[in-house]
Chains A and B, each alone.
Chain A
C-alpha cells in the first residue's frame, strides 16, 4: 500500500520517488499543509496510546509509568458486563445505522420532489433547526414527553390504553434513542445529499423526460445513482465508527432500569475510566474499539470497491 505501483521496473525506489516528486510537485505543494497538520496534531500525539499498556499516573508521565502489558484489556474482557456491553453497542449502533442513515437520504429525495421552492426552503430550514439544540435540552424534552403524564402517554391514554413507563422499560430504550436521533439530525444530515443532488447534470433529467420517464423512474435511475458516491463514502465512514457511539446522549437518557439494554462501551468507559480518571483503562478500551472499527472500515471499503468500483482508498 505504502509505495506507489512501479511504473518502470528497473529504476530504484529512490529514483522513482524523486521522479514522482518532480512530476507531482504542485500536488505535493498543495498537500503539504495537510501533511504537516496530520503529523503534528494526529501522528505525534499517538505515542500516547501506549498508556493502554501501562498503569498511567499523571505525575509519573507516560514513559515513567509502569508497563503492565495486557492488564487493562484483561480487566475489560473479564468484566462481568463485557458481553452485554459489546452486544448493546453493536445493536444500538447497528440499528442506528439501519434506521438513522437512510432517513436523511429519504428526506432529501422527498424534498427534491417538491416543486414549490418557498415550501421546500422552509421545510429544509425548519428541519435542520433541532440540530442546534444542545443534547442536554433535547433529551430533557424527550424525557418530559416520555413520562407517565407526558405527551406520548397522553396520546396512549387518548386511545384508551394503559399509560406506559416508557423510560423504565428496557425494550423501549433503543427506539427512543434512535427515533429522537432521527428527529434531531435528519434535516441537518439531508443537506449534504441535497447539495449532491444539485450537482447532478440537469441534461440527464431532460434526456430521461424525453424518453418518457416518470418522476419515480427519474429518482431511481438518475437521482439515486447520482448521489451514490456520497452515500457510499458516508456509509463507509459511519460503519467505521460502529463501536464508537458517543456516551453523552445515552447517559442523559438511561437509568438503572434500562441499563440492561442501554449500557454501551462508551458509557462504561465514561463512568469508570473518565469520571474516576482511569486513563489507562479508558485507553485500552479505546484501542480495542479502534481495532474493530479499523477492521470494519477496511472490510466495507473492500466490499464497496468490489461492488461499485470505488472506495476510500
Chain B
C-alpha cells in the first residue's frame, strides 16, 4: 500500500519534471539572446574573478544551452549534508529539529539527500551564531541566512569560507538559471560587487507575495461616518478630522486616535511620507528615494518641508496619536482592540488577521472591520509605493567551501526552485498534506487545517516548509492559506497599481570599503535624523529649524553617504 503510493508519487513527479523540462527549454530558447547579452556582461567579471576556491573542472567555455535539466533522486546513493538554518518559532512549538518535519523527510525520500540540521538558538542573534560558526571553522555544508554574517559575500568567498556559485549554477543549477532567464534583473540582484554569486537567494517570484503592507483603516467607522476611503492628501485630512470629531466608536467621547503608530519605525508615521511622494523611512533603504535617477535622502526631497509641516499640524490637532513615538507593540494593539484607533500602517499578512480574530473573539462585534487603503495620489498626480518587496530577497543559502558533495548541495537547493519543488516545499505531499480542488487550486488537508492544539501557521510549519526556513520561494499557495480574511487579500489589488519609480532598489551592491564607510557615516545621521523628525512632528523643535537641520545633516557627511549610494545605484542601473 505504502509502496504503491510512493511509486505513484514518484511517477507523478517524473511526469511533472518532463513537462516542465520541455516548457523550460522553450523558454530558454526564446530568451537566449537576452541571456547571452547578460552573460557577456558578467563574463568580464567571471573571468577576472575565477579564483582558487572554484573547482577547476567548472571553468567550462561559454555554452549557450546552460545547465542540463536533472531528475530526482539527486544522487543514487544516500548522502548526508549538514545545514545551518533557523528553527522558526512556529515550528519549535512542535518540533525540536527540522529533521522531524514531514516535508524535509519527504524530500529526503525523493532526493536521497539526508539533511542534518544545526539550528542556532533563536535567543542569540543570527549574526552572532554565524560569526562564531565561521570563526570556529566548523562550517555546515549548506548555510542559510548567510547574509546575516558580518563579513560580506565577497569576503566570505575570497577567504575560502563559501563557494562562488556562478560556475556551479551554470553546470548544475538548471532551475535557478531558469529563474535568471525568466526574471530580468534577478541575476544582477544576486550578483555581488565583485561579480560573485554567493548564494541561492530566497525570493518572491509570485507577484502577490510582494505586496502585503499598506495603510489600514477602520472601514466600519468610515461607513458610520459615511465617507469613502481617501485617495488624495486633503481627503486624508478630512477623513482623520472626521474620525476625530465624529465619534465613530459611539461612546460619546472624542477618544478616537485617527492615526496610530508605534515607536517601531516600520509602523511609524514615517510611512506617511508616501503622501508627499518620497520615502522618509530609514528602515527602508536608509530613507532614500530616487528622483530622476538621483538618490535623494529624505531631508533633501522636495516634499520634505511640506511633510514635516503637515505632520506637525496633524499632531497638534490630535489627528496623530500623541504617543506616536513611545507606543510599543502591546500599547498599539490595545488601542486598536479597545476601539480607539482609526487608521494605521500595517502588514496584512498575519498581524491584521490576528487583530481581526482577537476582536471577533472578544466582543463578537460583526462590524469591526479593517481594510487596506491605497497609497494616495500626491499633488503630482501619482500614487507612490516605496514599501513593497522585490522578487529577490537579500537573503539566501550558501555552500561551504569544505562541502564534499557540492553537486548534491547545489541540486538540493536548486530543486526548491523547480515548479514541483516550490509546491512541495510550501504544501508538502499531494494527497497527504494538500489536495487540488476541481479548479486546480491546492488546499491544505484536514491534517493541517484541523491540527490538534496548533494554529494554522504552526501546523503548516510542522508538516511543510511554508513560511519558514529552509525553503527558497515564497509560494502563493501558502500565502493564500495564511491570508484567511478577505480584507487581507484585498491588499494586493489595492496597492499594486501605485508607481514604484521613486523606490530605491533594495539590493544595491557595495564594496567592502564602501559598505564600512557608509555604516560609519550613517550611524550618527540615522539618530540625528530620527530625533529631528520626532522634534518637528511633536513641536519639541520649531519648524523654523528645518533649514539648520538639513545643514547639520550635511556636515555629518550626508553628501558623501549619498554619493556612495548613488554610485551603487548607477552600477545597478547599468547592470
Contact = CB atoms under 8 A, between A and B. Distances in A.
Asked whether any CB of A lies within 8 Å of a CB of B in the complex, the reply is yes
B325 interface: yes
Nearest to A167: B326
A263 B326 contact: no
A256 interface: yes
A263 to B, nearest CB: 7
A81 B326 contact: no
Nearest to B157: A59
A187 B29 CA distance: 76
B394 interface: no
B328 A143 contact: yes
Interface stretch (B199-207, B355-363, B492-500, B524-532): B524-532
A248 B263 CA distance: 17
Contact of A144 (B331, B516, B524, B530): B331
A58 B325 contact: no
Given A256-B530, A259-B527, A276-B519, A58 B131 contact: yes
Interface string B126-152: 010001001100000000000001110
B225 interface: no
B159 A256 contact: no
Given A148-B322, A167-B323, A168-B538, A59 B528 contact: no
Given A80-B528, A167-B326, A279-B150, A60 B159 contact: yes
A241 interface: no
A259 B531 contact: yes
Most buried by B among A143, A144, A168, A279: A168
* Chain A interface residue number, banded: 20 to 34
A57 interface: yes
B326 A255 contact: yes
A244 B381 CA distance: 53
Nearest to A59: B159
A279 B150 CA distance: 9
A60 B131 CA distance: 12
A76 to B, nearest CB: 10
Contact of B161 (A59, A148, A165, A259): A59
Contacts of A263: 527
B323 A148 contact: yes
Interface string A49-90: 000000101111100000000000001000111000000000
Contacts of B538: 168, 257
Nearest to A81: B524
Contacts, number: 87
Interface in B535-561: 538, 540, 556
B45 interface: no
B496 to A, nearest CB: 32
B337 to A, nearest CB: 13
Contacts of B156: 59
A54 to B, nearest CB: 13
A257 B519 contact: no
A75 B520 contact: yes
B144 to A, nearest CB: 17
B179 interface: no
A288 B526 CA distance: 24
Nearest to B331: A147
A229 interface: no
A255 B325 contact: yes
Given A58-B135, A80-B556, A257 B534 contact: yes
A307 to B, nearest CB: 42
A278 B519 contact: yes
Contact of A277 (B127, B161, B534): B127
Most buried by A among B156, B323, B330, B533: B323
A140 interface: yes
Nearest to B255: A149
B447 interface: no
Contacts of A59: 134, 151, 155-156, 159-161
B523 interface: yes
Contacts of B151: 57-59
A279 B131 CA distance: 11
Interface in B102-143: 125, 127, 131, 134-135
A256 B529 CA distance: 10
Interface residues of B, number: 36
Nearest to A281: B520
Contacts of B323: 147-148, 165, 167-168
Nearest to A140: B330
A260 B538 CA distance: 15
Interface in B505-520: 516, 519-520
A263 B531 CA distance: 11
Contacts of A19: none
Given A81-B527, A263-B527, A257 B325 contact: yes
Nearest to A163: B322
B523 A272 contact: yes
A270 B131 CA distance: 16
A215 B361 CA distance: 60
Nearest to A257: B325
Contact of B131 (A168, A255, A277): A277
Interface string A167-198: 11000000000000000000000000000000
A217 to B, nearest CB: 49
Contacts of A79: 523-524
A140 B520 contact: no
Interface string B307-345: 000000000000000110111101100000000000000
A80 B516 CA distance: 18
Interface string A107-145: 000000000000000000000000000000000100110
Given A148-B323, A256-B263, A259-B527, A58 B149 contact: yes
Nearest to A273: B523
Contacts of B159: 57, 59-60
A284 B161 CA distance: 27
B135 to A, nearest CB: 5
Contacts of B134: 58-59
A59 B132 CA distance: 11
A260 B330 contact: no
B62 to A, nearest CB: 31
A256 B150 contact: no
Contacts of A257: 325-326, 531, 534, 538, 540
16 contacts: A57-B150, A59-B156, A60-B155, A79-B523, A80-B524, A80-B556, A140-B328, A143-B328, A144-B331, A148-B323, A165-B326, A256-B325, A256-B530, A276-B150, A277-B150, A278-B519
Given A167-B326, A255-B326, 17 more contacts: A55-B516, A58-B149, A58-B150, A59-B134, A81-B524, A140-B330, A143-B331, A144-B330, A167-B323, A168-B325, A168-B538, A256-B531, A257-B538, A274-B125, A277-B127, A277-B150, A279-B150
6 nearest interchain CB pairs?
A: A277-B150, A59-B159, A167-B326, A256-B534, A255-B263, A80-B524
